[in-house]
Amino acid sequence: MAHGDQMNHSGKPKEGRKTFFRLLSYLACDKSLLFVIGFLIIIGIVTSLLGSYMIRPIINDYIIPGDYNGLVRILLILGGIYLVGVVAVYIQYILLNKIGQRTVTRMRTDLFGKMEHLPIKYFDTHQHGDLMSRYTNDIDRISDALTDSLSDILSSALTLIGIFCLMLYISPILTLVVLITVPVMFLFARLIVSRSRRYFKAQQESLGNINGYIEEMISGQKVIKVFGHEEKVEADFDIQNRDLRDKSLKAQFYSGLMMPVMQNLNTLNYVIITIVGALLAIYRGFDVGGLAAFLQYSRQFGRPINELASLYNNIQAAFAGAERIFQIIDEAPEEADIPDAVELKGIKGDVEMKNVVFGYKPEKTILKGVSMHALPGCKIALVGATGAGKTTILNLLPRFFDIREGEITIDGHPINRVTRNSLRQSMAIVLQDTHLFTGTVRENIRFGRLEATDEEVMEAAKLTAAHSFIKRLPHGYDTLLENDGANLSQGQRQLLNIARAAVADPSILLLDEATSNIDTRSEILIQKGLDKLMEGRTSLIIAHRLSTIRNADLILVLEQGQIIEQGSHDELIRLKGKYFTLNQEQFNPH
The binding track of 281-310 with respect to Mg ion, each residue x by CB under 5 A or -, is ------------------------------
> Quick one: 171 or 515, whose CB is closer to Mg ion?
515
Output 388 or 445, the one with its CB closest to ligand ATP: 388
The distance of Cα 165 from the centroid of its chain, to the nearest Å, equals: 45
Please give the full DSSP string across 420-481, using - where no structure is assigned.
HHHHHHTEEEE-SS----SEEHHHHHHTTSTT--HHHHHHHHHHTT-HHHHHHSTTGGGPEE
Q: How near is the Cβ of 437 to ligand ATP at its closest, in Å?
A: 22
- Out of Mg ion, ligand ATP, none, what residue 388 binds, judged by CB under 5 to 8 A for its kind, is ligand ATP
**Shortest gap between Cβ of 503 and Mg ion (angstroms)?**
24
Number of shown-chain residues binding Mg ion (CB under 5 A): 2
Query: Can you tell me whether residue 228 is helix, strand or coil?
Result: coil
Cβ proximity to ligand ATP: between 198 and 390 the closer is 390
Minimum Å gap between C-beta 525 and ligand ATP is: 24
CA distances from 325 to 106, 129, 201, 223, 343 (A): 12, 14, 13, 32, 34
Question: Toward ligand ATP, which CB reaches closer, 366 or 563?
Answer: 366
Nearest to 149 by CA among 299, 3, 322, 9: 3
Contact 418, 410 (CB under 8 A): yes
**Cβ 390 to Mg ion shortest distance, Å:** 5
Question: How far apart are alpha carbons 334 and 406 in whole angstroms?
Answer: 20
For residue 93, the partner it binds in Mg ion, ligand ATP, none, with Cβ less than 5 to 8 A by kind, is none
CB of 540 to ligand ATP, least distance (A): 12
Query: Going by C-beta distance under 8 Å and a sequence separation of 6 or more, which residues neighbour residue 312?
Result: 6, 193, 196, 255, 258
- 397-436: contacts with Mg ion (CB under 5 A): 432
44 vs 384 by CB, closer to Mg ion? 384
CB 335 within 8 A of CB 402: yes
Question: In angstroms, what is the minimal distance from the CB of 516 to Mg ion?
Answer: 10
State the binding string over 365-384 for Mg ion (x if CB under 5 A, else -).
--------------------
Residue 558 Cα distances to 141, 387, 552, 585, angstroms: 51, 10, 15, 17
197 binds, among ligand ATP, Mg ion, none (CB under 5 to 8 A by kind): none
Q: Minimal distance in Å, beta carbon 37 to ligand ATP?
A: 48
Please choose, from the candidates 302, 204, 193, 182, the residue with its C-alpha nearest in 3D space to the C-alpha of residue 255: 193
By CB under 5 A, residue 444 contacts Mg ion:
no
Nearer to Mg ion, 55 or 396 (CB): 396
C-beta closer to ligand ATP: residue 306 or 391: 391
For the CB of residue 491, give the shortest distance to Mg ion in the complex, in Å.
18
CB of 103 to ligand ATP, least distance (A): 36
Q: How far is the CB of 408 from ligand ATP (least distance, A)?
A: 15
Exposed (0-12), middle (13-18) or buried (19+): which is 126, by Cβ within 10 Å? middle
Q: Which is nearer to ligand ATP, 31 or 361 (CB)?
A: 361
**Number of residues that this document lists for the chain:** 590
**Site residues (CB under 6 A) for ligand ATP?**
124, 360, 366, 384, 386-392, 432
Q: Which is nearer to Mg ion, 371 or 432 (CB)?
A: 432
The binder of 446, among Mg ion, ligand ATP, none, by C-beta within 5 to 8 A per type, is none
Nearer to ligand ATP, 389 or 506 (CB): 389
387 binds, among Mg ion, ligand ATP, none (CB under 5 to 8 A by kind): ligand ATP
CA-angle at 490, arms to 489 and 494, nearest 5°:
115
- Classify burial at 295, counting beta carbons within 10 Å of its beta carbon; exposed 0-12, middle 13-18, buried 19 or more: middle
> To 10 degrees, the CA torsion angle through 171, 176, 182, 183?
150
The b-or-e profile of 57-66 (16+ CB within 10 A means b, else e) is ebbbebbeee
Residue 391 touching Mg ion (CB under 5 A)? yes
392 binds, among ligand ATP, Mg ion, none (CB under 5 to 8 A by kind): ligand ATP
Binding residues for Mg ion, per CB under 5 A? 391, 432
